[in-house]
Structure 1
Amino acid sequence: MSELKMGFVTMVNGPVIRGSSMGSFGMREMVHIGSLGLLGEVIRLEDDEALIQVYDDTQGLKVGEPIRGTGRSLSITLGPGLIGGFFDGIGRPLERLMESQGIYITPGAQVEQLDLDARWDVTVTARRGQMVSPGTVVAEVQETPLMVHRIMVPPGVEGEVVEVQPSGSLRTRDWVVKVADGSGRVTPVHLAQSWPVRMPRPYRERLLPNEPLVTGQRVIDGLFPIAKGGTAAIPGGFGTGKTVTQHQLAKWSEAQVVVYIGCGERGNEMTDVLEEFPVLEDPRSGRPLMERTILIANTSNMPVAAREASIYTGITIAEYFRDMGYHVALMADSTSRWAEALREISGRLEEIPAEEGFPAYLPSRLAEFYERAGRVITLGGETGSVTIIGAVSPPGGDFTEPVTRHTKRYIRCFWGLDKSLANARHFPAISWLDSYSEYAREVEDWFAAQVDPRWKDLRTRASQILAEDNKIQQIIRLVGEDVLPDEQKLVAFTAFLIKNGYLQQSAFGPDAYSPPSKGFAILDRIIYFHDRCEGLIKKGVPLSLIKGHESVEAMAHLRELPADDIRAFDDHKRRLDAHIERVARERTAASTGR
């Protein structure tokens, strides 16, 4: 019936076209345009006319060419074959596109999102006569050595299993079980299913975000933690390390599945990702990281409309694996480029612009995206989560520009990158003054139980020292450090140890991943030193007598020790205690004249 629906191109304006005779088409319906079959989506209907955003290059498209309806909305095929794949913004596999089209994507190129003829070793878990409902797992596929792909009954299907395929080799296009509902209608459940990307996948119940997503980055896990199912933004100017920080989180966070969206980024950055991720080693299993990663690449030279769709494609894939009971981390790099795509399309539509030319619906679109994060009870009764971490690229590092400002309304974790820290080669360049996490209070019970009961107190003490040091540094810039009393010199020195010995962390080498236990041990040692020195200074001991010992200087290098080298940490504590005790005894002896 959809073949009967046909309109005609009446205007071409870059990625936006107008069609006539479109009265029978639906809002958000996918269409094929012209002789090349360019893929488009209806975004406005006006009587018999429609505006369509096109996901291909419209160069050469002519007025009068036909527009054919498909009867469905923009969807992604979900099933075995997603893990380890590279896809474009609308879910087309880039490797198969290159095989059929070459290194450039030909306008109108069509290829199946998954290889429907690929064979998988399927273990069918459902049985004949079993009552199933949406989310029920009916089969499993060992998609990679790290990932078991669970075949679930799709939403809207429930009833009795009336037919079951035997376990063994099945194609992606094959059905696994057939389900009969109360009216006798039989629905096959295939290895692959389709889902519209702009529609959130359903779940049973949303849970509180009270379990942290451990990232292995001390500045995050220690000061600004994020919860599983949480939302975070990484804003920063050019060169501050947004992409590298997201790479670190993709590599080292304890998420079971990583979906990385390169949304409008430079081609060389996505090339680095495509070359680096396949050879990276998963820290927990030793297997290649790509065995639990999905990459979506929509670079700045790809069609702008596909960039707008890319984050919906990515979040739908993330929700699909969440529904299997996995904890998924989604990296969007960057939402600023996505917002720029919205702005360009809005301009082509001649909509009234809001601030800085962005459309008035920018906040609602950001909200729709970030609201799809969460830790939930799935329809199948499992616990899964989608954590969204979006990079923001404010022009000139201005955090008051619209994308950053509106993003802050919908996220609860803000990791602001500081240009001065990046210039000083302090990485991650996450500002301890501008950043915040609203999850800290909700995850403190987990850290108290799993790491140390004093986690909250140490975090609070470190934040207070860094805030006080910020005031002291202003005085130092005016009059120098020599005129300060020893109490303030101690605060400045302790802050120096926190910044360089705790917060600073190399993205390469053995310190690239730091478990919370190691980070806590380092911070505990620094705060312990501060408290001991504070007591000695009150008794009149000069700070200069305490600072000049190798055990004190070594605190700035404890991060270089292996996390499991407990003996080295204990040995340092003994040397530090011995030094402080010796200074205290010598001062006492000097004051009593002995």
Structure 2
Amino acid sequence: MSKGTIKKVAGPLVIAEGMRDANMFDVVRVSNQRLIGEIIEMHGDEASIQVYEETSGLKPGEPVESTEEPLSVELGPGLIASIYDGIQRPLDDIMKATGSNNLVRGVEVPALKRDRKWKFVPTAKVGDEVSGGDVLGTVQETIIVEQKIMVPPTMKGKVKEIKEGEFTVDQTICVLETADGDKELTMMQKWPVRKGRPYKKKLHPNMPLVTGQRVVDCMFPIAKGGVAAVPGPFGSGKTVIQHQLAKWAEADIVVYIGCGERGNEMTDVLNEFPELKDPKTGESLMERTVLIANTSDMPVAAREASIYTGITIAEYFRDMGYSVALMADSTSRWAEALREMSGRLEEMPGEEGYPAYLGSRLAQFYERAGHVITLGSEGREGALSAIGAVSPPGGDISEPVSQATLRIVKVFWGLDSALAYKRHFPAINWLTSYSLYLDDMGPWFNEHVAPDWMSLRQDMMSLLQDEAELDEIVKMVGMDALSPTDRLKMEAARSIREDFLHQNSFHEVDTYTSLNKQHNMMKLVMDFYNESLEALNSGASINDILKMAVRERIGRYKYTLEADVDKEYETIHKELAVEIANICGKEDQ
């Protein structure tokens, strides 16, 4: 074991000498208080260590001891419904152990409870040949989540002994006969956070992650196993969008990383998530959620690690065959932590002081998402979708973190403060946002929802773009200067904006919209436009068209209960046809 002494302390950075035998990314214990840190640079026998705890009071000459292991997380029963800090220390257990609301330095508490017993039900039997990823048995962790206890990815052999009953996470449940001798397996695995967990094959992203948010599912969908960025200025609704996705997205497991966010925002999450009802099961949303809370007042180095801790936990559930949604709020704060550590290491700064490797670190994080076939003989399919919020200073997305993120992700939901000030939520700007998964997922929508889904979407986008161009004319010379056809375009686009894209996350019906209901809404808006256009061309008055009573029904259709959507659609559709016929008949007379 490599032991050295502190030479210099600079905030969260500690330089230790006499560490020649240590390795990069080893976890070390610093000073007699045994603060946890990680080696991030080596020069001869000097190691630069980022310390994940407050370093005030440390002085040169104090001991530093390497554990000779990389920063790892504990994976096993007990993860779900837990609240961790950036390096997987359980915040509730630390509070019970210390009696303090703030993190106490040097406290050592295991991530998974060692005293709690879990009922292990074996599925493998003695004599089975197993390899990495194969399931040995199951543990019912919560009412919703059944954990599959798997063979560690790097191991293979024959099952020599397997037990059944109640065990703690560190008790032996299986003995494996391997080429290197017998290995005892527990329900817990350890995995280095900076190394992605292996899988057999990455699949093409051609299925959407259905979220029930209309502007997302219809306009800018994200694939299952895809990556998305949500950049936006202060107050534009990044956190609310992530809460909505956490609640409604078709994911089995949610991992929420509060990375450097304000403490009161994280408190809201911690208070709201246990109270939110999971729409699929009626249970608390926490029954399928892991929270990582590393607020802005916690040590900056642990903020840098929190992203990796979260995605490693997410990969573990992906390997069981689950669909996992990971929310990172926000990657800008993570990048700021990277910049601070880089500055203290005296590295050559890149743009705006960020390190030159900012882009590659972001890519390493986002590339760990994906829809994969997992290890193991069963060949389970698992998906990990990553959604990262970006908080550019002043809302300027030309800054380095936003630009580096946009080069990697395939979905950009650009939040607009102008829309937020108008109380249009979600404040996703339909003219600047995009999804590069559309071409891959178009066939899925056309096959599973409706054959005209993609063409309806394209028609709506065209109307919105035409409206943006006509809006310039309206601002200069007024609405009356437009031709009747252009006025109709403006009204149809307004209907798309206010009736379709505007969605109230606090309304019990409007908060979630099924794909079938979304399709009906698109049809109603476009039928109004197309049939009104025909009426105009046959001599109808634009004023009569705009006064039609059915327009109010179309606008209120989004508040229709899910059980009544098809019936209500037919009623409105007939009413539209009758009113158009009446207008055309009036003109004929």
Report the TM range for the smaller structure's normalisation: over 0.9
Distance in structure 2 (CA, Å) of the matches to 1:516 and 1:221: 8
Q: Deviations over 1:452-472 (max 9, x none)?
A: 011110111011110110001
Distance in structure 2 (CA, Å) of the matches to 1:81 and 1:577: 58
Instruction: Give 1:15's match in structure 2, choosing from 12, 28, 41.
Output: 12
Equivalent residue runs for 1:65-104 within 5 Å? 65-101=62-98, 102-104=100-102
Q: Deviations over 1:99-123 (max 9, x none)?
A: 1121011111210010022101111
Counterpart residue number, 1:592: none
Please state how far the C-alpha of 1:382 moved relative to its aligned partner. 0.4
Counterpart residue number, 1:186: 182
Equivalent residue runs for 1:137-286 within 5 Å? 137-165=135-163, 167-183=164-180, 185-286=181-282
Q: Would the aligned equivalents of 1:224 and 1:436 in 2 still touch at CA under 8 Å?
A: yes
Please state how far the C-alpha of 1:91 moved relative to its aligned partner. 0.3
Distance in structure 1 (CA, Å) of the matches to 2:122 and 2:167: 11
Cα RMSD, aligned residues only: 0.8
Query: Runs in 1 of length 4+ with deviation above 4 angstroms?
Result: none
Counterpart residue number, 1:473: 471
Q: Would the aligned equivalents of 1:117 and 1:173 in 2 still touch at CA under 8 Å?
A: no
Please state how far the C-alpha of 1:48 moved relative to its aligned partner. 0.9
Matched, 1:551 2:547: no
Q: Deviations over 1:27-59 (max 9, x none)?
A: 000000001100000000000111000000001
Distance in structure 2 (CA, Å) of the matches to 1:300 and 1:43: 22
Counterpart residue number, 1:130: 128
Q: Deviations over 1:363-420 (max 9, x none)?
A: 0000000000000000021000100000000111111111000100100000000111
- Quick one: which amino acid aligns to residue 553 of structure 1? E
Please state how far the C-alpha of 1:563 moved relative to its aligned partner. 2.3
Q: Deviations over 1:243-284 (max 9, x none)?
A: 000000001001100000000000000000000000111111
Instruction: Give 1:383's match in structure 2, choosing from 377, 381, 384.
Output: 381
Matched, 1:444 2:448: no
Residue 144 of structure 1 aligns to a residue whose secondary structure is coil
Distance in structure 2 (CA, Å) of the matches to 1:489 and 1:539: 16
Counterpart residue number, 1:306: 302
Matched, 1:561 2:557: no
Instruction: Give 1:360's match in structure 2, choosing from 356, 361, 375.
Output: 356
Residue 31 of structure 1 aligns to a residue whose secondary structure is strand
Please state how far the C-alpha of 1:574 moved relative to its aligned partner. 1.6
- Quick one: which amino acid aligns to residue 250 of structure 1? A
Counterpart residue number, 1:574: 574
Counterpart residue number, 1:508: 506
Residue 173 of structure 2 aligns to a residue whose secondary structure is strand
Please state how far the C-alpha of 1:549 moved relative to its aligned partner. 2.0
Matched, 1:519 2:557: no
Structure 1 unmatched ranges of 5 or more: 590-594
Q: Would the aligned equivalents of 2:538 and 2:584 in 1 still touch at CA under 8 Å?
A: no
Please state how far the C-alpha of 1:554 moved relative to its aligned partner. 2.3
Residue 71 of structure 1 aligns to a residue whose secondary structure is strand
Structure 2 unmatched ranges of 5 or more: none
Residue 195 of structure 2 aligns to a residue whose secondary structure is coil
Q: Deviations over 1:523-570 (max 9, x none)?
A: 111001111111111222121111112211222221111122132222
Counterpart residue number, 1:31: 28
Q: Would the aligned equivalents of 1:373 and 1:385 in 2 still touch at CA under 8 Å?
A: yes
Counterpart residue number, 1:42: 39
Q: Deviations over 1:487-507 (max 9, x none)?
A: 111111000000010000011
Q: Deviations over 1:133-192 (max 9, x none)?
A: 100000101101100000000011101000111x22111111221111235x11122101
Distance in structure 1 (CA, Å) of the matches to 2:276 and 2:572: 33
Q: Would the aligned equivalents of 1:222 and 1:519 in 2 still touch at CA under 8 Å?
A: yes
Equivalent residue runs for 1:333-372 within 5 Å? 333-372=329-368
Instruction: Give 2:486's match in structure 1, choosing from 485, 488, 494.
Output: 488
- Quick one: which amino acid aligns to residue 109 of structure 2? V
Q: Would the aligned equivalents of 1:139 and 1:176 in 2 still touch at CA under 8 Å?
A: no
Counterpart residue number, 2:588: 588
Q: Would the aligned equivalents of 2:93 and 2:109 in 1 still touch at CA under 8 Å?
A: yes
- Quick one: which amino acid aligns to residue 202 of structure 2? R
- Quick one: which amino acid aligns to residue 45 of structure 1? M
Q: Would the aligned equivalents of 2:74 and 2:188 in 1 still touch at CA under 8 Å?
A: yes
Distance in structure 2 (CA, Å) of the matches to 1:153 and 1:384: 17
- Quick one: which amino acid aligns to residue 221 of structure 2? P
- Quick one: which amino acid aligns to residue 293 of structure 1? T
Q: TM-score, normalised by structure 1?
A: 0.97
Residue 175 of structure 1 aligns to a residue whose secondary structure is coil
Counterpart residue number, 2:58: 61
- Quick one: which amino acid aligns to residue 3 of structure 2? M
Please state how far the C-alpha of 1:588 moved relative to its aligned partner. 2.0
- Quick one: which amino acid aligns to residue 85 of structure 1? S
Counterpart residue number, 1:434: 432
Q: Deviations over 1:266-314 (max 9, x none)?
A: 0000000000000111111111111110000000000000000000000
Residue 382 of structure 2 aligns to a residue whose secondary structure is strand
Residue 425 of structure 2 aligns to a residue whose secondary structure is coil
Q: Deviations over 1:178-208 (max 9, x none)?
A: 111235x111221011000000000000000
Q: TM-score, normalised by structure 2?
A: 0.98
Residue 110 of structure 1 aligns to a residue whose secondary structure is coil
Distance in structure 1 (CA, Å) of the matches to 2:497 and 2:252: 30
- Quick one: which amino acid aligns to residue 568 of structure 2? A
Equivalent residue runs for 1:323-342 within 5 Å? 323-342=319-338
Q: Would the aligned equivalents of 2:539 and 2:584 in 1 still touch at CA under 8 Å?
A: no
Q: Percent identity?
A: 48
Please state how far the C-alpha of 1:24 moved relative to its aligned partner. 0.6
